[in-house]
Amino acid sequence: MADRDLRFVLYTADDGTQYRTKQDAAIIAVGGATPATGAVEVTGADNHQPLPRGLSPRRVYVRTSGQNQRAVVCMTPDAPLFTGAAATIPLQQLGGAAVTYNRHRASSERDHRNFPGVELD
């Protein structure tokens, strides 16, 4: 298996704030002009803050027969995989070719930064 090709992308939080994070280029490419995860690769100068600790991004759990469940982070609330418009996604397997996974369920973003008495930097 080739090394992962992680690229900087923008994550749009539920409140509209954009953060910088990374996602594998193979996942970004799924869906072509309308990426299945809603990922937009950051190119050139970037002044976005990194994804804060305590903010759990929205994700979709996917499954394939005979395999464990995997989670795919969706970068926008209207990403086709998150909304259900895309029902499958090919994911690379360790030491092998990509396998098509089926959308199982979506999990909303969770912000753990605002709990009283808990301070995160």
pLDDT digits (tens, 9 = 90+) for 41-71: 898 888 899 999 889 999 999 999 877 889 9
Residues whose CB is less than 8 angstroms from the CB of residue 88 and which lie 6 or more positions away in sequence, other chains included: 100, 101, 102, 103
Is pLDDT at 2 greater than 70 in this prediction? no
Structure pTM? 0.84
The residue extents of the domains of the chain are 6-108
Rounded Cα distance between 113 and 55, Å, is 7
pLDDT of residue 84: 93
Rounded Cα distance between 26 and 24, Å, is 5
> Which carries the bigger pLDDT value, residue 41 or residue 116?
41
pLDDT digits (tens, 9 = 90+) for 80-115: 999 999 999 998 887 778 889 999 999 999 887 765
pLDDT of residue 94: 77
Q: Are 41 and 75 in contact (CB under 8 A)?
A: no
Buried b (16+ CB within 10 A) or exposed e, 8-17: bbbbbbeeee
Give the residues across from 59 on adjacent strands. Answer: 73, 107
